[in-house]
Amino acid sequence: MHPAPRALRRAAVAVVVLAAAVSCAPQPEEADKPSSSAGNACEKGELATRTSGKLTIATDEPAYEPWFKDDKPANGKGFESAVAYAVAEQLGYGKDKVAWQTVPFNKAFAPGEKTFDFDINQVSVSEERKKAVDFSSGYYDVRQAVVALKGSKAAKAKSVADLKDVKLGAQVGTTSLNYIDDVVKPKQAAAVYAKNDQAKSALKNGQVDAIVVDLPTAFYITGAEITDATIVGQFAHQGGTPEQFGLVLDKGSALTSCVSRAVDALREDGTLAKIEQQWLSDAVDAPVLK
pLDDT by residue (tens digit) across 159-170? Answer: 999 999 999 999
Beta strands in 150-228 (DSSP E): 168-171, 191-193, 210-214
pLDDT confidence tier of residue 285, bands split at 50, 70 and 90 = confident
71-93, pLDDT tens digit by residue?
999 999 999 999 999 999 999 99
Amino acid at 263: V
The pairing of strands 168-171 and 191-193 is: parallel
Distance in angstroms (rounded) separating the CA atoms of residues 137 and 177: 23
Q: Quick check: 19 pLDDT over 60?
A: no
Please state, rounded to an integer, the average pLDDT across all residues of the chain: 87
Share of the chain above pLDDT 70, in %: 85
pLDDT value of position 146: 98
Kindly indicate the confidence band of residue 40, based on its pLDDT and cuts at 50, 70 and 90: low
**Res 114 pLDDT > 60:** yes
Residue 1 has pLDDT above 80, yes or no: no
Structure letter (DSSP) for residue 172: T
pLDDT at 5 over 90: no
142 backbone φψ class: left, alpha, beta (φ>0; ψ -120 to 50): beta
Q: Is the pLDDT of residue 7 over 80?
A: no
Percent of residues in the chain assigned helix, strand, coil, to nearest 5: 40, 20, 40
Per residue in 198-222, pLDDT (tens digit) is 999 999 999 999 999 999 999 999 9
The residue among 29 and 158 whose pLDDT is bigger is 158
30-39, 123-132, 207-216: range with lowest mean pLDDT? 30-39
Domains of the chain in sequence order: 55-140+244-284 (3.40.190.10), 144-236 (3.40.190.10)
- Express as a percent the part of the chain with pLDDT over 90: 81
Cis-peptide, bond into residue 62, ω within 30° of zero: yes
pLDDT at 15: 36
pLDDT of residue 115: 96
Predicted pLDDT at 284: 63
